[in-house]
């Protein structure tokens, strides 16, 4: 293990830029993630503009002048680029750094009682490699023929020059994701080893907070499956740049050619676990925060952990449900359907554990709790609509419609967004020493909660009515013309959703400077990160904490005069 290096002369470079302190790196990931969240979100607004007002000039307040189209309109090519980059950025450069990067870094060592990550220098390299990957992606906006436009999945042959997309945009896309994968691997190795090796004395696995469990399981999935997509991307890159034909077939291939479906398999062997990589940290954070703000132990915490671990295993054998319409054998389709539906059992169990945690709790509706409860709602809708997509017969109709878009935005966007906001609101006092403005936080929450449901629920309705997910102008189809009004309604809701995020950004920045100074443990939490004075020095703990309790000892009758007790304080006669 590397030691924590403290240079005698502290410059801004060593403390804020190339810092090896996990807390600083966590904040770096947070800022980068918020930047990309806004950038990816802006592209979503442009997509919605086109769907509601097809082939009309983009207004000035959506920065219409920078849209590279005829008379300020979004052309079909630009539209393809928009949805490709929106999906790519949101998944890989917004959600990943926001949850795993920011809170994995900030929270894991603090909550397990470690001085830092197991490999601090590798941790720093992870951030800067991630930063570099983002730069490569952004540079592709300046290419003569524009950015990638083959969808966030970039299936070949579409994503290859022979398949119809000219220029280097796709190659930059592939390269940037490969780099991002390297950065993710560095981080994941660190998280996995840190949890295994650096837990404080007494911090057994089942005494770890559930947020650490979620982040740790996500990292295990990362270590296993990121190399899989890396292999696929390397092959795709050689197809794009060196003329190999691994994923070309038929008349597009000069020689015998390969098979485009192989890429789909490789992509989804990674891609489906990726869904859980994104959502597992949220599940952990939600399980944790529900306990904190209900002032009672997390119901069935060990069962929740077992369920999350079961899902980690099952997530690796269900990739085929993304490919029901590729002509796979019916037996294989049924197998994937069965395995996929099996995931609903552990999911339901921990979901009911969440509800049971709330039951008869002393609920405190602070901003983190509001966002946490929103996750319960949106994840319920996302999870239940997933059952239709998992079923072969329903999926053949729903495949590639806006129903799927609505579904995965409920699970991957809304759940993760609210989970991220919950985490930001909860740990903001530890990160910046001040509180977010609670009134602005609540206004932001309600605005976001209402508008996000209006957007994604109605997307599912349009999909059920037959609207394909990647249509440039749905109005060109007679049977979709009646959906024009609902598309306008979704778009207006999306703009409202976007506007409320500006309010969040204002609150986030303003509170950093002018927010109320936070006390050391504003939420009266049990976990170790609240035991130090702010700012927490590099090294976190002056002496290794001795953990004697689990993280959920709220309202314990053996604790007098308080409804919480730190994990390091003995309760009554218990040891």
Chain residues that interact with other proteins, rule: CB under 8 A: 1-6, 8, 115-116, 118-119, 185, 189, 192-193, 196-198, 223-228, 230-232, 234-235, 238, 242-246, 254-259, 262, 265-266, 269, 532-539, 542
CA 218 to chain centre: 11
Taking the complex as a whole, the smallest distance from the CB of residue 429 to other proteins amounts, in Å, to 13
Quick one: 242 or 331, whose CB is closer to other proteins?
242
Residues in the chain: 575
Instruction: Report the alpha-carbon distance of residue 22 to residue 472 in Å, rounded.
Output: 44
Burial (0-12, 13-18, 19+ Cβ within 10 Å), 399: middle
**For residues 66 and 517, which CB has a smaller minimum distance to other proteins in the complex?**
517
We find the least distance from the C-beta atom of residue 116 to other proteins, in angstroms, to be 7
Q: How far is the CB of 198 from other proteins (least distance, A)?
A: 8
Q: How far is the CB of 8 from other proteins (least distance, A)?
A: 8
For the chain, what is the largest distance between any 2 Cα atoms, rounded to a whole number of angstroms?
78
Residue 548's contacts (CB-CB under 8 Å, 6 or more residues apart) are 202, 567, 568, 569, 570, 571, 574, 575
Q: Toward other proteins, which CB reaches closer, 271 or 361?
A: 271
* Separation of alpha carbons 170 and 36, rounded Å: 19
**Nearer to other proteins by C-beta: 116 or 553?**
116
* CB of 67 or CB of 162, closer to other proteins: 162
Nearer residue to other proteins within complex by CB, 102 or 230: 230
Handedness of CA 252, 257, 261, 265 (dihedral sign): negative
CB closer to other proteins, 223 vs 394: 223
By C-alpha distance, which of 149, 153, 146 is closest to 92? 153
- Least Å from the CB of residue 274 to other proteins: 14
Token couple for 484: 């024009």
CB nearer to other proteins: pick between 66 and 331? 331
Say whether the peptide bond before residue 157 is cis (omega within 30 degrees of 0).
yes
Sign of dihedral through CA atoms 565, 568, 569, 573? positive
Is 150 or 258 the residue whose CB approaches other proteins more closely? 258
Minimum CB distance to other proteins, residue 262 (Å): 6
What are the tokens at 501? 């995020």
Q: Name the minimum Å distance from CB 163 to other proteins.
A: 15
Q: Which residues contact 242 (CB under 8 A, 6 or more apart)?
A: none
- Minimum CB–partner distance for residue 338 and other proteins (Å): 23
Alpha helices (H) in 55-168, listed in sequence order = 76-88, 104-112, 120-139
Rounded distance, CA 529 to CA 113, Å?
8
Smallest distance, other proteins to C-beta of residue 383, A:
28
User: Smaller CB distance to other proteins: residue 238 or 335?
Assistant: 238
Whole-angstrom distance, CA of residue 491 vs CA of residue 76: 18
Beta carbon of residue 249, minimum distance to other proteins (angstroms, whole number): 8
Specify the residue, 23 or 207, whose C-beta has the smaller distance to other proteins: 23
At its nearest, how many Å lie between other proteins and the CB of residue 336? 17
Question: Which is closer to other proteins, CB of 21 or CB of 553?
Answer: 21
Taking CB atoms within 8 Å and a gap of at least 24, the contacts of 237-240 are 237/171, 237/174, 237/175, 237/178, 239/156, 239/160, 240/159, 240/160, 240/161, 240/170, 240/171, 240/174
- At what angle are helices 260-294 and 367-390 packed, to 10 degrees? 140
The nearest distance, CB 231 to other proteins, in angstroms, is 4
Nearest to 85 by CA among 157, 150, 182: 150
């Amino acid at each position: 293990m590397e030691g924590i290096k403290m240079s005698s002369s502290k410059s801004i470079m060593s403390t804020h830029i190339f810092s090896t302190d996990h807390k600083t790196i966590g904040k770096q990931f947070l800022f980068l993630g918020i930047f990309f969240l806004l950038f990816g979100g802006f592209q979503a607004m442009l997509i919605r503009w086109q769907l509601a007002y097809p082939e009309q000039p983009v207004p000035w307040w959506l920065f219409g002048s920078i849209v590279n189209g005829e008379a300020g309109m979004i052309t079909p090519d630009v539209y393809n680029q928009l949805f490709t980059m929106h999906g790519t950025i949101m998944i890989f450069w917004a959600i990943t750094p926001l949850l795993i990067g920011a809170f994995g870094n900030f929270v894991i060592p603090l909550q397990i009682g470690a001085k830092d990550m197991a490999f601090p220098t590798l941790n720093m390299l992870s951030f800067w490699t991630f930063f570099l990957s983002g730069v490569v992606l952004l540079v592709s906006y300046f290419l003569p023929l524009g950015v990638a436009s083959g969808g966030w999945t970039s299936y070949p042959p579409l994503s290859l020059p022979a398949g119809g997309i000219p220029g280097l945009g796709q190659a930059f896309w592939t390269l940037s994701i490969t780099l991002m994968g390297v950065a993710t691997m560095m981080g994941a190795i660190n998280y996995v080893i840190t949890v295994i090796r650096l837990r404080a004395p007494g911090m057994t696995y089942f005494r770890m907070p559930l947020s650490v469990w979620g982040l740790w399981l996500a990292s295990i999935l990362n270590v296993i499956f990121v190399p899989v997509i890396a292999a696929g991307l390397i092959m795709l890159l050689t197809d794009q740049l060196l003329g190999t034909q691994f994923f070309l077939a038929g008349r597009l291939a000069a020689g015998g050619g390969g098979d485009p479906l192989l890429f789909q398999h490789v992509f989804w062997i990674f891609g489906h676990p990726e869904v859980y990589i994104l959502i597992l940290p949220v599940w952990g954070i939600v399980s944790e925060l529900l306990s904190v703000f209900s002032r009672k132990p997390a119901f069935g915490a060990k069962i929740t952990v077992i369920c999350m671990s079961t899902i980690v295993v099952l997530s690796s054998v269900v990739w085929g449900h993304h490919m029901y319409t590729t002509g796979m054998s019916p037996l294989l389709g049924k197998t994937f359907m069965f395995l996929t539906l099996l995931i609903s059992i552990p999911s339901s169990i921990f979901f009911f554990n969440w509800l049971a945690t709330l039951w008869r709790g002393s609920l405190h509706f602070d901003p983190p709790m509001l966002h946490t409860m929103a996750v319960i709602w949106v994840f319920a809708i996302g999870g239940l609509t997933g059952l239709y997509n998992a079923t072969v017969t329903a999926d053949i109709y729903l495949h590639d419609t806006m129903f799927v878009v609505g579904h995965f935005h409920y699970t991957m966007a809304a759940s993760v967004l609210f989970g991220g906001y919950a985490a930001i609101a909860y740990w903001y006092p530890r990160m910046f020493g001040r509180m977010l403005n609670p009134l602005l936080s609540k206004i932001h929450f309600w605005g976001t909660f209402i508008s996000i449901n209006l957007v994604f629920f109605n997307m599912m309705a349009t999909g059920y009515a037959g609207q394909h997910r990647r249509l440039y102008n749905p109005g060109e189809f007679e049977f979709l013309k009646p959906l024009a009004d609902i598309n306008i309604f979704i778009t207006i809701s999306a703009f409202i959703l976007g506007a409320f995020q500006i309010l969040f950004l204002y609150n986030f920045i303003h509170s950093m400077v002018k927010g109320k100074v936070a006390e050391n443990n504003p939420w009266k939490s049990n976990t170790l990160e609240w035991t130090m004075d702010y700012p927490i020095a590099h090294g976190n703990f002056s002496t290794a904490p001795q953990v004697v309790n689990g993280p959920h000892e709220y309202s314990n009758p053996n604790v007098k005069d308080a409804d919480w007790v730190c994990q390091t304080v003995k309760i009554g006669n218990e040891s």
